[in-house]
Amino acid sequence: MTTKTHSNAEVGNKEDASYLNSLRSSLLDWFRLKQRRLPWRDTRDPYAIWVSEVMLQQTRVAAVSERYVAFLERFPTVFNLAAATEAEVLTLWSGLGYYRRARQLHCAARQIVEHKAGEIPTTAGELLLLPGIGKYTAAAVASIAYSEPIAAIDGNVERVVQRLRGWGSEGASDQPAIARHISAEAQRLLDPAAPGDWNQAMMELGATVCLPRAPRCADCPIVSFCATRGEHVTPKRAPMRSESVAYALVVRSRGKTKQVLLVQRPAEETVMPGMWELPLDTGDHSPAAPMLKLRHAIMQVNYKVEIYSATANGVSVDGKKHRWVDARSAAKLPLTGLARKTLLQSGMLNDDRP
Ligand code: SF4
């Protein structure tokens, strides 16, 4: 990669128009050439972009890529999404986690259809009024779909701006003061001629090159503009907690059909309310060895999961709503990610969500 080296004076001269133009074109040229081909990058449809941005919050790109296409096939427009039941939406969301996002997306779709005749708001200010849309998502949708010149600032972009400017080490005690400058600087750097591409380029750089723990400065298209160039201190990552949990897979035959016992998480649960999962194992079963061992991460917790084959007597439904479900139709229920993974791995389920 050929890069022009900028002097410290140039790096510091943040008002220099040619410096800004040069920085912008370096990043945009790189993005247009090197960006990952992702399904949501081939559209300017505000609805599709909105769905992708909500899915991408706190969720890996690979997981979103899998679910995004199926979600849009089932709900190709905001009208389809608004007309769906919550259970249908959660079913298509299963495996992405953070189900509150799906509920709020659904609720916002209904508001758009009911109050705006299905027209997605065109500005970040209006988008912010919808449930589940924060500043980042509003800016991302407005800039990518409608070219509004507004910076979308997520953790990746914050890190790039901070390193680019050399504003203190990440995790420094003056971090709140630094954070106050980042938003203004991100907005100043934004290319008003291509705000959607610019925002995506900044996010792409943070996600693939300016990595949190080991930035790949030698591959960075804006290394010559960067005050830090990898000389930074990254904060220690908060350790993940480990927990163990045991579930029971209870199966019965009805003629040629196999049925599995599922329980529904209560509506008042803060995590995954209303979703279906396997019953908890009570330990009262034989054989004692688990039929399946899994690992499953949710938020800051790594779960070691053991699945035991059990009879209905060996499980705890704990007053929860429960039912026997034809194993082939279980995919059509809003299953927790772990329940879906367990049923798939135990051969009870094909992932044929509607
Ligand atoms: S040079 Fe290194 S630290 Fe600076 S923006 Fe590029 S990857 Fe990040």
- Within a domain: 1: no
Query: Which residue among 177, 196, 225 closes a domain?
Result: 225
137-182 pLDDT per residue, tens: 999 999 999 999 999 999 899 999 989 988 866 555 566 667 778 9
Which of 65-79, 126-140, 252-266 has the lowest average pLDDT? 252-266
- Within a domain: 350: no
Cβ–ligand 1 distance for 162 under 6 Å, the answer no
Cβ–ligand 1 distance for 215 under 6 Å, the answer yes
- Interval 287-310 mean pLDDT: 82
Residue 270 sits at φ, ψ, to 5 deg, of -80, -25
- What is the pLDDT, as a whole number, of residue 253? 87
- Quick check: 249 and 291 in contact, CB under 8 A? yes
- What is the pLDDT, as a whole number, of residue 9? 39
186-244 pLDDT per residue, tens: 999 999 999 999 999 999 999 999 998 889 999 999 999 999 886 665 655 667 788 88
315: its two tokens: 């499980």
Assess whether 187 and 205 both reside in one domain.
yes
Could you give the number of structural domains in the chain? 3
Assess whether 62 and 109 both reside in one domain.
yes
319: its two tokens: 């007053």
Cβ–ligand 1 distance for 228 under 6 Å, the answer yes
Assess whether 324 and 274 both reside in one domain.
yes
Assess whether 133 and 181 both reside in one domain.
no
pLDDT at residue 1 tops 90: no
Q: Is the peptide bond before 287 cis (omega within 30 degrees of 0)?
A: yes
Mutate to test the pocket of ligand 1, among 217, 225, 233 (most ligand atoms within 8 A of CB): 217
Assess whether 300 and 317 both reside in one domain.
yes
pLDDT at residue 110 tops 70: yes
Closest ligand 1 atom number to CA of residue 219: 7
pLDDT band at residue 329 under the 50/70/90 scheme: confident
Ligand 1, atom 8, lies closest to the CA of: 210
88 is catalytic: no
- Within a domain: 308: yes
The model carries a pTM of 0.75
Single-letter amino acid, residue 260: V
Helices of type H across the chain: 8-12, 17-34, 46-56, 61-74, 78-83, 86-93, 99-116, 124-127, 135-146, 155-165, 175-189, 195-208, 337-345
Assess whether 117 and 213 both reside in one domain.
no
User: For the residues of 290-325, what is the DSSP string, one character each?
Assistant: -SEEEEEEETTEEEEEEEEE--GGGEE-TT--EEEE
- What is the pLDDT, as a whole number, of residue 8? 42
- Within a domain: 257: yes
- Within a domain: 88: yes
Assess whether 18 and 44 both reside in one domain.
no
pLDDT band at residue 71 under the 50/70/90 scheme: very high
Single-letter amino acid, residue 22: S
- What is the pLDDT, as a whole number, of residue 119? 97
Which residue segment(s) compose the domain that 305 sits in? Answer: 241-345
81: its two tokens: 């999404």
Assess whether 202 and 296 both reside in one domain.
no
Query: Which residue among 146, 175, 195 closes a domain?
Result: 146
Cβ–ligand 1 distance for 55 under 6 Å, the answer no
Rg (CA), the chain: 24
267-276 pLDDT per residue, tens: 877 778 888 8
Buried residues in 159-177 as b, exposed as e (16+ CB within 10 A):
bbbbbbbebbbbeeeeeee
- Quick check: 240 and 176 in contact, CB under 8 A? no
Using left for φ > 0, alpha for ψ between -120 and 50, and beta otherwise, residue 187 falls in alpha
Assess whether 179 and 220 both reside in one domain.
yes
Assess whether 219 and 297 both reside in one domain.
no
Assess whether 88 and 161 both reside in one domain.
no
Residue 22 CB-half CA count within 13 A: 18
- What is the pLDDT, as a whole number, of residue 6? 47
Query: Which residue among 146, 176, 194 closes a domain?
Result: 146
- Interval 106-113 mean pLDDT: 98
Distance 171 CA to ligand 1 centre (A): 17
Assess whether 161 and 185 both reside in one domain.
yes
